[in-house]
Chain A
């Protein structure tokens, strides 16, 4: 056993350190399975002090480290190449809930949905609800600035994080932000949220709890095709309505969902389904439901259903939220893309995305946060087919270029990670990226904290070479 492992074990105890090759195997990848990396070790600290001890041990042995939550991320941000994975799953206490101040103080391993469950009796909830909320951790949410369907009205994670306790890459602890969200100096909470675990290891967060909306209505509109559903979304936004969520599920996705345990009774012959959730004061909802209904009808919706009760509403949402996993039924592998375009350009971009999928002869489906312009083209494929894998990667890049050309960006909620690092040059100039490097160097001057993620090494941008990104490696076959 190496000196590093001995130090790690003394930091977290023998049961808290995994290092046998078999034990490390399942940490090869996270929610993105296109590539894989072998970690040096995995540690499972239980406290901030243990995290500090691990970070210091890593420094002593000049090994870098990668924080990890539940590993549900979709951009390869939590994989470690010869680095130590700091798995935060055992730091899962809700340290404090204060209904008066409307805050909770949580450790990074708390599961997103568990926080809302723990405060529901107070009439409160934690608003950001990524589709993986049943499993993903808040630490991971902080790192990725996770969104979710309700981001449209309530904002992504960043808007709900008031303070952070951060172990810096040198092992020191800083308290960022405050219980009110106001803090003097630069907005360091804003900088750390969404930094994909490259600026330190978050060991606690103070988050805002929000009153559960007084009333909710969920509508399901059936459209003959995806483009007319997009037009309805644009119409709703232009009209000045601000639904809590506006989600589109396309036909191929509907069929996968209906074949899974999350079947919601959606018509499998519909071209697209638009899910609209409206919440707010009870008195306002009737008018908004009618307005949405009218707009959907005028764009060609064949049917608009309003959920009759909470059970039906939950079922509509289960179908949407489980879509990603249900896609697993279409083929052995699934590549979930993530890009954002200006909302008004959704129809034309969607057309282009479908055209790309057809041209590369791929099974491409779309389920996305239409209200935010956040596209998720999903490609089902079999990585054992080398030719298909190459087409998947080429189509993926073309989709990103299309979105950027339409004024969009390459990720809206999954993060850059290792997946899109080398596409950062599509969106940013070398000077823009240099500004980001300046921020990183302040927190992590020696580049030991989740290295090789987010920022490309200079002069390496936009090289769409799968080899360079490790995608020619096939982990399972």
Chain B
């Protein structure tokens, strides 16, 4: 009924369809506004009607988060697409939120720049920033929060706002872009971003180092501190534990580092494509699996690793980023949450993927400690009527 009312106000932007499952919730409509003004209009009416929306981009990470509390429609930014300002002499670009990463990469790559967001190509820029997720290359590229110079955001009320700017250094007012990045669309819908690009490295090499399970973490930590290293993955998924490294930079430095790794660690040359395959492993999760991410300081990494191994998890680590990924079978779900919390210790953990029924009654973002009241108050301050992605974010807000 309210869908009809909303459709009456916004017209064809809203399309009703067969119910699609979003983490256990059936959603029967999708809005695809053509621009930020369209999103603004839509949200103004939706909030007046007391409706709730799940913002999304390419939907590659649509299952990331807590169970939605309620949702009347999906709000897609897919039609907000393209790079409308890119100066190759500047190394910054203004990109619409729905733009796919692979499209953006192709466009700026032609001029010698790269996008410091390490997620698979089909992901949208908006999705990458809203989830704040990253692959192992964040070690060399930095985190998504560091790549964002400015954001355009539509608040739940439909108000369009901007924070940051196109310049590479800026302390004009509060750094709201940090707050929006990784907020899973719960404070506002991202419609465009100014990104800081990086010079594409002149040379890249991949190497693999076979290691014994017992000292795998130690070797990975040692190796991951090397210069010219942009990514390091400790993988157990193929033939035994392997430390994979990707070197990037000027050719002489990359060559020297590669020679040193071959000499000191008996590293073997690998194809960049093989490394890419390993780098993608973090995103996989079977239907009958749970995937956790843990952030554990290097000093505790080895003990967390062996504890998770003993608990029967399949493991992957990005040691340079202090991140461990652990997969558990759905049958071991109950104990998995206990083991993961224990392994994380004073660190942090997230359940990144799990069947909806496992998420029931849990907060997949782990424990927020003393921050919870502030996080709740922020959500209330920006979206008092819980229009945007209610229930999905940390603290189930």
Q: Do A and B bind each other?
A: yes
Which residues of chain B have C-beta atoms less than 8 A from A287's C-beta? 250, 252
Which residues of chain A have C-beta atoms less than 8 A from B228's C-beta? 280-281
Which residues of chain B have C-beta atoms less than 8 A from A416's C-beta? 171-173
> Are A436 and B174 neighbours in the complex by a CB distance under 8 Å?
yes
- Counting CB contacts under 8 A, is A284 at the interface? yes
> Are B89 and A344 neighbours in the complex by a CB distance under 8 Å?
yes
Knowing A147-B169, A174-B371, A240-B200, the reply to whether A182 touches B87 (Cβ < 8 A) is no
Interface residues on B, range: 35 or more
Chain A window 99-121, contacts with chain B (Cβ cutoff 8 Å), 1 for yes, 0 for no: 01111000000000000000000
> Are A184 and B365 neighbours in the complex by a CB distance under 8 Å?
yes
> Are B165 and A436 neighbours in the complex by a CB distance under 8 Å?
no
- Counting CB contacts under 8 A, is B122 at the interface? no
> Are B367 and A194 neighbours in the complex by a CB distance under 8 Å?
no
Knowing A147-B169, A178-B295, A414-B171, the reply to whether A281 touches B90 (Cβ < 8 A) is no
> Are B249 and A194 neighbours in the complex by a CB distance under 8 Å?
no
> Are A173 and B370 neighbours in the complex by a CB distance under 8 Å?
yes
Question: Who on chain B is nearest to A281 by CB?
Answer: B253
B84 CB, min distance to chain A CBs, angstroms: 14
A176 to B370, CA, bound (A): 8
Question: Who on chain A is nearest to B198 by CB?
Answer: A242
Chain B window 372-397, contacts with chain A (Cβ cutoff 8 Å), 1 for yes, 0 for no: 10110110011000000000011100
> Are B171 and A284 neighbours in the complex by a CB distance under 8 Å?
no
- Counting CB contacts under 8 A, is A360 at the interface? no
> Are A180 and B381 neighbours in the complex by a CB distance under 8 Å?
no
Which residues of chain A have C-beta atoms less than 8 A from B378's C-beta? 186, 439, 442
> Are B171 and A283 neighbours in the complex by a CB distance under 8 Å?
no
> Are A180 and B172 neighbours in the complex by a CB distance under 8 Å?
no
- Counting CB contacts under 8 A, is B159 at the interface? yes
Which residues of chain A have C-beta atoms less than 8 A from B90's C-beta? 237, 342-344
- Counting CB contacts under 8 A, is A374 at the interface? yes
> Are B165 and A435 neighbours in the complex by a CB distance under 8 Å?
no
Which residues of chain A have C-beta atoms less than 8 A from B175's C-beta? 145, 158, 190-191, 193-195
- Counting CB contacts under 8 A, is B256 at the interface? yes
Question: Who on chain A is nearest to B381 by CB?
Answer: A438
B111-151 residues at the A interface, CB under 8 angstroms: 112-113, 132, 142-143, 145-146
> Are B169 and A191 neighbours in the complex by a CB distance under 8 Å?
no
Which residues of chain A have C-beta atoms less than 8 A from B298's C-beta? 100-102
Selecting from A80-88, A300-308, A382-390, A424-432, the interface stretch reads A424-432
- Counting CB contacts under 8 A, is A238 at the interface? yes
Question: Who on chain B is nearest to A283 by CB?
Answer: B252
A287 to B252, CA, bound (A): 9
A147 CB, min distance to chain B CBs, angstroms: 6
- Counting CB contacts under 8 A, is B91 at the interface? yes
- Between A and B, 22 residue pairs with Cβ closer than 8 Å are A145-B175, A159-B142, A175-B371, A178-B347, A184-B366, A185-B368, A186-B179, A186-B182, A186-B187, A187-B179, A189-B178, A190-B181, A213-B227, A281-B252, A340-B165, A407-B167, A408-B167, A410-B172, A431-B159, A434-B161, A436-B173, A455-B173
B contacts, CB < 8 Å to A: 87-92, 112-113, 132, 142-143, 145-146, 153, 155, 159-163, 165-176, 178-179, 181-183, 187, 198-200, 225, 227-228, 249-250, 252-253, 255-257, 295-299, 321-323, 346-348, 350, 365-372, 374-375, 377-378, 381-382, 393-395
A contacts, CB < 8 Å to B: 98, 100-103, 144-145, 147, 151, 155-156, 158-159, 172-176, 178-191, 193-195, 211, 213-214, 234, 237-238, 240-242, 280-284, 286-288, 340-344, 369, 372-374, 407-416, 420, 424, 427-429, 431-436, 438-443, 454-455
